[in-house]
């Protein structure tokens, strides 16, 4: 999936001037109004840069478009909440996105970030806020979903209204309830499992290997690499690409160690192993696709735990992990787990 090219500097600056001018009474031919507009935008930008809540929220909102585009079940991802809305049917609010799936079904998505650090701290939405979104969806005869990013766990959950508990003037859900009723599989999300461990060897040419000095340092140029799954080397290029992406963006923690022989540094070994294994079970889950997209996006937009960019100049296809239909490998087996929502789950943590 690719982003349709636009030139926002051509028209959107004028559109923003018009939108602000409706409230402030700007005239397009008035230079003083133009200067006021530039000052107002500068002040607004500075205020936004100092508000981490806004920055995190807008980054996650942009991230969802890449997640939806990379998972493979969307034909189109469109920003829905831009431009003016004229309505004869009460108070409405446009959700963030409209998704068109491969079977031509559509859904409207409101994206939310939840940074709660405990399982017992629920995510909540004001009922009145949800009803504005729901009214818009009803007018468009399109189902509304809430996409929540639980940032502490790097997990996306896609929920319908009936998956929330109504409490007072709020709709709430805990993490466990959201994960049990998660509908992300509708847009292509799957969990992946393979054989532990995954190992990457980065190797120097032995004739170029340098001795480790008295400070424990040595220069090295990697000339080749090898990937292994449970001790068996992965040879096929497509399989190596998948395994590398799983190591880089999956949930298994990794360790690294040097390959040293006769005092010379010959390479590095990076090993990814699940935190725990399950007796009697060969394959272990390494992560889900949406979380891997989110991890890759974070590499490009976050530094020192602070947003440094809200979006990226690459297409969602750059984050996609292509696994051929019917993929089979004796060396690198993969299990795709499609989670279906359990709407009967009782959220005891709430």
Which residues belong to CATH 3.40.1350.10 in the chain? Answer: 8-187
From 133, 187, 186, 194, select the one nearest 164 (Cα to Cα): 133
The stretches in the chain having pLDDT less than 50 are 349-350
pLDDT for 348? 54
Query: b/e map of 160-178 (b: 16 or more CB within 10 Å)?
Result: ebebbeeeeebbbbbbebb
8-187: CATH topology is Trna Endonuclease; Chain: A, domain 1 (3.40.1350)
pLDDT for 128? 96
pLDDT for 326? 86
d(CA 9, CA 315): 20
**Are 279 and 314 within 8 A, CB to CB?**
no
298 cis-preceded (ω within 30 degrees of 0):
no
Residues 6+ apart with CB under 8 A from 243: 194, 198, 227, 229, 234, 332
């Amino acid at each position: 999936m690719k982003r349709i090219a636009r030139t926002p500097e051509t028209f959107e600056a004028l559109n923003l001037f018009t939108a602000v001018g409706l409230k402030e009474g700007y005239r397009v031919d008035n230079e003083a109004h133009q200067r006021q507009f530039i000052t107002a935008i500068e002040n607004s930008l500075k205020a936004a840069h100092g508000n981490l809540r806004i920055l995190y929220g807008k980054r996650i909102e942009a991230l969802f478009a890449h997640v939806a585009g990379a998972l493979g079940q969307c034909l189109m991802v469109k920003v829905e909440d831009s431009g003016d809305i004229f309505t004869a049917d009460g108070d409405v609010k446009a959700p963030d996105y409209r998704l068109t799936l491969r079977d031509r079904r559509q859904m409207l998505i409101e994206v939310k970030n939840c940074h709660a650090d405990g399982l017992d701290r629920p995510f909540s939405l004001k009922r009145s806020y949800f009803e504005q979104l729901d009214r818009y969806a009803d007018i468009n005869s399109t189902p509304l979903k809430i996409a929540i990013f639980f940032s502490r766990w790097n997990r996306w959950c896609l929920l319908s209204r009936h998956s929330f508990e109504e409490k007072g003037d709020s709709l709430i859900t805990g993490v466990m309830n959201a994960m049990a009723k998660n509908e992300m599989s509708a847009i292509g999300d799957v969990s992946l499992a393979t054989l532990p461990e995954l190992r990457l060897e980065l190797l120097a040419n032995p004739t170029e290997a340098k001795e480790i000095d008295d400070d424990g340092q040595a220069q090295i140029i990697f000339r080749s690499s090898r990937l292994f799954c449970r001790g068996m080397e992965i040879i096929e290029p497509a399989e190596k690409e998948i395994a590398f992406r799983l190591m880089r963006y999956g949930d298994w923690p990794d360790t690294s160690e040097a390959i040293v022989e006769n005092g010379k540094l010959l390479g590095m070994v990076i090993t990814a192993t699940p935190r725990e294994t399950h007796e009697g079970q060969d394959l272990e889950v390494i992560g889900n696709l949406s979380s891997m997209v989110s991890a890759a996006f974070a590499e490009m937009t976050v530094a020192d735990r602070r947003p440094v960019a809200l979006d990226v100049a690459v297409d969602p296809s750059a984050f996609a992990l292509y696994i051929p239909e019917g993929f089979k490998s004796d060396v690198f087996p993969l299990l795709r787990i499609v989670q279906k929502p359990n709407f009967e789950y009782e959220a005891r943590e709430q």
